[in-house]
Amino acid sequence: MANGFFRPPYPENEAINDYAPGCPIREDILSTYEDMLKGHVDIPMFIGGKEVRTNELRDCRPPHDHKKLIGQYHWGTGQHASDAIDAALSAHKAWAAMPWTERAAIFLRAADMVSGPYRAKINAATMLAQSKTLFQAEIDAACEFADFLRFNVQYMTDIYEMQPDSSAGVWNRVEYRPLEGFVFALTPFNFTAIAGNLPAAPALMGNVVVWKPSDSQIYSAWVVMEIFRKAGMPAGVINLIYADGPEVGDVVFKHPDFAGLHFTGSTGVFKHLWKEIGQNIDRYKSYPRIVGETGGKDFIVAHHSADATELATALSRGAFEFQGQKCSAVSRAYIPESLWPEVKKQLLDNIQDFKMGSPGDPKNFMTAVIDERSFDKIAAFIDDSKQQDDADILTGGSYDKSKGYFIDPVVVHTSNPHFRTMCEEIFGPFLTIHTYPDADWTKTLALVDSTSQYALTGAVFSLDRYAINEALEALTFSAGNFYINDKPSGAVVGQQPFGGGRGSGTNDKAGSAQNLLRWVSPRTIKETLLPAKSYPYPYMD
Ligand code: NAD
């Protein structure tokens, strides 16, 4: 019975612990990390509420200590994708009919588990699986994830409240049905919060989901699934499988009940998936919703009025936190010649000061990159840059994968604004700087806008309001998240809805009502209170 207009608790952003010495839970997280590092977990898939194990086991190893085995997961096949779809479709009717209050309660409970009793475990899992420092794990796995879950409940009720007008004798209503079929959530390695949100957002709106995480994030995805299950998620609503992406895609995208893709990952993969969906369009019962947040080549453009220290700090944090593996990490910067000597000095001093190593040691600002493939790709960019005449490596250039996938932070200066590393996404600790004559501000803005296929995040640094306004205008379509005098990363749910345009995605803004609207198919209901009883209209008299 749902007799009442129920109001869920109003969401507030989860407070971030700074983990300074003396912070009461610092030791808790670090000891959980050590325990999990010493432990060995067995990670099944979850299909139809059951744990599914196979004969093929694959290893979970921390990227910063890849000789250490911390667990193994059960590797599936296309058949498991098919089983997951069947389980999801079996759960569809009951889940779609569940009152929204009951769905909301599950996710609100999950949020309180993330920020409370599971905080240490989900943070430690993220430190281990994705090599995030204590603080980077906290802002992702504990805070952003809890925020996604709580704010989405509020946005769901905001959507349900959007109702049409009625007129005399007529009552109009809009009912926000889930999609007819199942949603496929395909998630990236770099954020535990994003990985959890991509299946959770459609499920909250009454959809059933097949979730395939990145192979490099399975360890923390398993913790997310444990939270969902303990929060009361019914069997079959979210099904978690680990298998080869193209093999799963082949089953999912040919299925007549495929109703939506919720993707975050690289641009190339998203374009490939879109084409596959297009090729299969005649098989589907409905037009699938396609939501994808993808790559970036995020910029900082500085005006000569900018403060050199603020700029150098934003570059140091924005480019190198989490080893530059945030989709929003600054990876190209345009600095006026008059500011460059001071900015360069401070930036290189900061980098000199960075400590790199295990996330188990809180002194470290940086740790390892995610895996060997990524390490080799970044190393190839470094080697290539060393050989080019129009680029100088100002710092970095060394890398070592003997213990973990460690890459020294790289800063390249180039005289060529179209140098390869000014245009292509590298996804590592690699910043390219182009300096320009102060008088070329307007020309430089045009360059920023036209240099890459991406439009995810960007920032302007200036103390001159005319210059800031000019940048806002010139860069209208250059970024979906634009920052003034701040680094272009660190978006907060409920405050800076996140997503980009152009090659960076469909810009459906994760953690917002816009995103949730993609997971419903409204049904308009008109009820006439006293229907007509004869057919002729008055004009016929
Ligand atoms: P990725 O594209 O390599 O993988 C994403 C997911 O797709 C993984 O689960 C992977 O297994 C799967 N996949 C890959 N190829 C597939 C195929 N052919 N068929 C089916 N599935 C396939 O991305 P990643 O390396 O995990 O994450 C890094 C990328 O994600 C970067 O490009 C980054 O910019 C982007 N990203 C974007 C945002 C955003 O909000 N815009 C946020 C985080 C990450």
Residue 109 pLDDT greater than 80, yes or no? yes
CA of 264 to the centre of ligand 1 (A): 6
Q: Which atom of ligand 1 is nearest to the CA of 215?
A: 11
Question: What is the distance between the alpha carbons of residues 362 and 380, in angstroms, rounded to a whole number?
Answer: 30
Strand intervals (E) in 189-340: 208-212, 238-240, 258-264, 289-293, 298-302, 330-336
Q: What percent of the chain has pLDDT over 90?
A: 98
Q: Is 497 in the pocket of ligand 1 (CB under 6 A)?
A: no
Into which CATH architecture does domain 298-484 fall?
A: 3-Layer(aba) Sandwich (3.40)
Mean pLDDT, range 81-94, rounded to an integer: 98
Q: Is 295 in the pocket of ligand 1 (CB under 6 A)?
A: yes
CB 299 within 8 A of CB 500: no
Q: Is 326 in the pocket of ligand 1 (CB under 6 A)?
A: no
pLDDT for res 315: 98
Where is average pLDDT lowest: 14-23, 78-87, 294-303, 429-438? 14-23
CB 320 within 8 A of CB 366: yes
Q: Tell me where in the chain the CATH 3.40.309.10 domain(s) lie.
A: 298-484
Query: Three-class SS of residue 117?
Result: coil
Q: Is 428 in the pocket of ligand 1 (CB under 6 A)?
A: no
Q: Which of 14, 143, 321, 327 is catalytic?
A: 327
At a CB cut-off of 8 Å and minimum separation 6, what does 82 contact? 251
Question: What is the distance between the alpha carbons of residues 149 and 137, in angstroms, rounded to a whole number?
Answer: 17
At a CB cut-off of 8 Å and minimum separation 6, what does 70 contact? 36, 37, 39, 40, 41, 60, 61, 62, 128, 219
pLDDT for res 120: 97
Q: Give pLDDT tens digits for 249-289.
A: 999 999 999 999 999 999 999 999 999 999 999 999 999 99
Task: Read off the pLDDT band of 24 (50, 70, 90).
Answer: confident
Query: Does domain 32-294+505-523 sit in CATH 3.40.50.2000?
Result: no
Residue 116 pLDDT greater than 80, yes or no? yes
Q: Is 449 in the pocket of ligand 1 (CB under 6 A)?
A: no
Whose C-alpha lies nearest to ligand 1, atom 1? 265
Residue type, 497: P
Q: Which of 14, 138, 144, 293 is catalytic?
A: 293
CA of 193 to the centre of ligand 1 (A): 14
CB 195 within 8 A of CB 258: no
CA of 190 to the centre of ligand 1 (A): 9
Q: Is 294 in the pocket of ligand 1 (CB under 6 A)?
A: yes
Q: Is 264 in the pocket of ligand 1 (CB under 6 A)?
A: yes
Question: What is the distance between the alpha carbons of residues 99 and 107, in angstroms, rounded to a whole number?
Answer: 13
CA dihedral sign, ordered 248, 249, 255, 256: positive
Q: Tell me where in the chain the CATH 3.40.605.10 domain(s) lie.
A: 32-294+505-523
Q: Is 246 in the pocket of ligand 1 (CB under 6 A)?
A: yes
Residue 435 pLDDT greater than 80, yes or no? yes
CA of 270 to the centre of ligand 1 (A): 8
CB 458 within 8 A of CB 500: no
Give the gyration radius of the chain's Cα atoms. 25
CA of 282 to the centre of ligand 1 (A): 26
Q: Give pLDDT tens digits for 455-488.
A: 999 999 999 999 999 999 999 999 999 999 999 9
CA of 199 to the centre of ligand 1 (A): 15
Residue 2 pLDDT greater than 80, yes or no? no
At a CB cut-off of 8 Å and minimum separation 6, what does 79 contact? none
Q: Is 44 in the pocket of ligand 1 (CB under 6 A)?
A: no
Examine the residue annotation and report whether 327 is marked as an active-site residue of this protein. yes
* Pocket-testing residue among 148, 264, 323, ligand 1, by greatest number of atoms within 8 A of Cβ: 264
* Pocket-testing residue among 189, 224, 291, ligand 1, by greatest number of atoms within 8 A of Cβ: 189
Mean pLDDT, range 85-108, rounded to an integer: 98
| Nearest of 194, 226, 100 to residue 153 by alpha carbon | 100
Whose C-alpha lies nearest to ligand 1, atom 8? 214
Q: Indicate the burial class of 97 (C-beta count within 10 angstroms; 0-12, 13-18, 19 or more).
A: exposed
- Which residue bears the tokens 């005098």? 485
Residue 1 pLDDT greater than 90, yes or no? no
Q: Is 214 in the pocket of ligand 1 (CB under 6 A)?
A: yes
CA of 192 to the centre of ligand 1 (A): 13
Whose C-alpha lies nearest to ligand 1, atom 42? 327
CA of 380 to the centre of ligand 1 (A): 20
- Nearest 10 degrees: CA dihedral of 453, 193, 316, 442? 30
Whole-number average pLDDT of the chain: 97
Distance, C-alpha 356 to centroid of its chain: 24
Q: What percent of the chain has pLDDT over 70?
A: 100
Whose C-alpha lies nearest to ligand 1, atom 28? 265
DSSP string, 42-80: EE-EEETTEEE--S-EEEE--TTSTT---EEEE---HHH
Residue 224 pLDDT greater than 90, yes or no? yes
Q: Is 503 in the pocket of ligand 1 (CB under 6 A)?
A: no
Q: Is 425 in the pocket of ligand 1 (CB under 6 A)?
A: yes
Question: What is the distance between the alpha carbons of residues 368 and 375, in angstroms, rounded to a whole number?
Answer: 9
Q: What is the pTM of this model?
A: 0.97
Q: Give pLDDT tens digits for 494-522.
A: 999 999 999 999 999 999 999 999 999 99
Task: Read off the pLDDT band of 9 (50, 70, 90).
Answer: very high
CB 435 within 8 A of CB 413: yes
Task: Read off the pLDDT band of 63 (50, 70, 90).
Answer: very high
Examine the residue annotation and report whether 23 is marked as an active-site residue of this protein. no
* Pocket-testing residue among 186, 219, 261, ligand 1, by greatest number of atoms within 8 A of Cβ: 186
pLDDT for res 214: 98
Q: Is 417 in the pocket of ligand 1 (CB under 6 A)?
A: no
Strand intervals (E) in 356-509: 391-395, 399-400, 406-407, 410-414, 430-436, 454-455, 457-461, 481-484, 501-502
